[in-house]
């Protein structure tokens, strides 16, 4: 095509990471999380966006993969042997304005990274301690989760996040990371500014 590739920012982390703060920071500096005129009238879509800075269509793409594989976001296993859903990342991204960066916030993206890797130009990983993941899982997902189940989920996500980092640091794309503590302390907006300006 000859034109520069549009900036697509993936914001990732293990469960309990404050990825939403990075997403809102990117929005503050001009990125799009929702495409123009996107409706959030379906039950739960507005709260998903308001609370997590997530586009519900991304969750739909990922949930279709999980359904195909008989898994869920917190099963502690990687989804395997699945087809790229249709509509998928390419159709999703085609709905956005070309003149602004797109920001995709979803921790689960790292577990299905192969469907996004040809589209994402920048990655921000919010690093989180195992305790934060355990706290999130037992308070927000299932109060009966055992410590071993929480650790397994944390280890699966962190291993996949390391693979994403390895891919990005060996390519010409941009990789950034920040700790949950630094996000909570307010450094996320400044990082988002530098990512948008990258």
pLDDT at residue number 169: 77
Which CATH number does the domain housing residue 106 bear?
3.40.50
Pairwise CA distance, residues 5 & 185, whole Å: 33
User: One digit per residue, pLDDT tens: the chain, 198 residues?
Assistant: 344 578 999 999 999 999 999 999 999 999 999 999 998 888 778 888 888 899 999 999 998 998 899 888 888 888 887 888 899 999 999 999 999 999 999 988 999 999 998 999 999 999 999 999 999 999 999 999 999 999 999 999 999 999 999 888 776 678 999 999 999 898 998 999 999 976
Backbone angles phi, psi at 187, to 5 degrees: -80, -10
Within a domain: 106: yes
pLDDT at residue number 47: 84
Report the number of distinct structural domains present in the chain. 1
Within a domain: 20: yes
pLDDT at residue number 2: 40
Pairwise CA distance, residues 187 & 173, whole Å: 22
Within a domain: 1: no
Backbone angles phi, psi at 104, to 5 degrees: -115, 115
pLDDT at residue number 42: 81
Within a domain: 3: no
Distances from the Cα of 165 to the Cα of 39, 45, 72, 189, 190, angstroms: 33, 30, 23, 21, 21
pLDDT at residue number 72: 85
Within a domain: 134: yes
| Cβ atoms < 10 Å from Cβ of 131 | 11
Pairwise CA distance, residues 143 & 145, whole Å: 6
Q: Which domain holds residue 51?
A: 8-196
DSSP 82-120: -PPPSS-HHHHHTTS-TTS-EEEE-GGGGGGGGGTTTT-
Within a domain: 93: yes
Pairwise CA distance, residues 122 & 190, whole Å: 15
Within a domain: 96: yes
Three-state DSSP class for 42? coil
pLDDT at residue number 172: 63
Within a domain: 178: yes
């Amino acid at each position: 095509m000859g034109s520069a590739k549009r900036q697509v920012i993936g914001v990732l982390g293990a469960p309990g990471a404050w990825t939403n703060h990075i997403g809102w920071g990117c929005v503050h500096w001009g990125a799009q999380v929702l495409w123009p005129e996107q409706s959030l009238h379906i039950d739960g879509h507005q709260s998903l966006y308001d609370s997590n800075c997530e586009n519900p269509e991304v969750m739909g793409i990922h949930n279709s993969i999980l359904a195909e594989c008989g898994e869920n976001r917190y099963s502690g296993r990687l989804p395997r042997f699945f087809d790229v859903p249709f509509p998928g990342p390419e159709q999703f991204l085609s709905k956005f304005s070309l003149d602004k960066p797109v920001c995709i916030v979803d921790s689960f993206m790292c577990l299905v990274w192969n469907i996004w890797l040809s589209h994402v130009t920048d990655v921000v990983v919010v690093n989180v301690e195992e305790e934060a993941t355990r706290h999130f899982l037992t308070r927000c997902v299932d109060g009966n989760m055992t410590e071993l189940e929480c650790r397994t989920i944390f280890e699966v996500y962190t291993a996949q996040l390391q693979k994403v980092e390895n891919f990005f640091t060996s390519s010409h794309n941009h990789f950034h990371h920040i700790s949950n503590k630094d996000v909570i302390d307010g450094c996320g907006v400044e990082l988002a500014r530098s990512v948008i300006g990258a």
